[in-house]
Amino acid sequence: MNRELQKLARDFALWIADQDENIVELPPEGVLEKTEGRTIPSVNDDKIESDNLPDTTFCQPSEENMQRPSNKELLEKLRQEVLSCRKCGLGQYRLNAVFGVGNPDARLMFVGEGPGFQEDHQGEPFVGRSGQLLDKIMETVLGLKRSDVYIANIVKCHPMKNPETPEAHSNDRPPSPMETNECKDYLEEQIRIIQPVCIVPLGSVAAKFLLKSTEGISVLRGKEYEYDISKIPEIRHRIKIVPTYHPAALLRNPNLKRDTWYDIKLVKAILDSDGR
């Protein structure tokens, strides 16, 4: 019995020694690396056979989930919000909310103060004689069509002097600071989605709003400024602002055309020098 125990102990010791030899056997060169005194397995993609890897496809985001909605989709979602908005008194009397039109990926955005009589009736910004003149300026100086740019207003509903007589002419007025303040998030979101290279505020109200200035358009025009992009953390470029006269002002006073041409040429130079 004692002899059998001794034999078992000897066999066990031999087996242990055999295991130790296998444990200290080094792997092929390159499979171990030393990092700050710690030995870690190196990762060599060439030596990893994909068949041996666990299936992790279940935890990877699908292509569908990784896709950001398109600008068109984002703008449409915002438009639906505007169509049901009644945040300020202008929503009560409007015929149509005038959200904005144009290319959702535009490099150039025009911004007016608010819809007028024609816009309220048609649901589109800058229609009628002012809109036709804007189209002509765009085409002549910039070589662009209305469908190439994006056109919006600060407020999306028609500000009227007397809302009880919506069909009366000469009933348009600029939006009040309270109305502008209620509506400004929509315009800021449009800018955040489109991320244009350049914004052109048309007229004093739009220029003052975008530049946070109290100066009139005749002082502000003729120069380029920068839009405050601190609310757009994902943006990778600066957005220029070039204010100019409202087309309605040009119709009233053709002498302003010369300055307007200068401003729009400045816009062209900005677009031409931008690689986007």
Any idea which residue has 């979602």 for tokens?
A: 77
Which residues partner with 150 through β-bridges?
102, 109
- Given 119, 124, 135, 182, the residue binding ligand SF4 (CB under 6 A): 182
> What φ, ψ does residue 136 adopt, rounded to 5°?
-65, -45
Least distance in Å: CB of 188 to ligand SF4?
Answer: 12
Instruction: Taking the CA atoms of 71, 73, 75 and 77 in sequence, report the sign of the dihedral they define.
Output: negative
How many chain residues are in contact with ligand SF4, going by CB under 6 A? Answer: 14
Asked whether position 157 contacts ligand SF4 by CB under 6 A, the answer is: yes
From residue 25 to residue 64, the character string flagging contacts with ligand SF4 as x (rule: CB under 6 A) and all else as - is ----------------------------------------
Residue 128: exposure state from Cβ atoms within 10 A (0-12, 13-18, ≥19): middle
SS3 189: helix
d(CA 223, CA 17): 86
Least distance in Å: CB of 77 to ligand SF4?
Answer: 15
d(CA 204, CA 209): 8
Q: Which is nearer to ligand SF4, 179 or 263 (CB)?
A: 179
From residue 65 to residue 104, the character string flagging contacts with ligand SF4 as x (rule: CB under 6 A) and all else as - is -----------------x--xxxx-xx-----x-------
Residues that bind ligand SF4 (CB under 6 A): 82, 85-88, 90-91, 97, 155-157, 179, 182-183
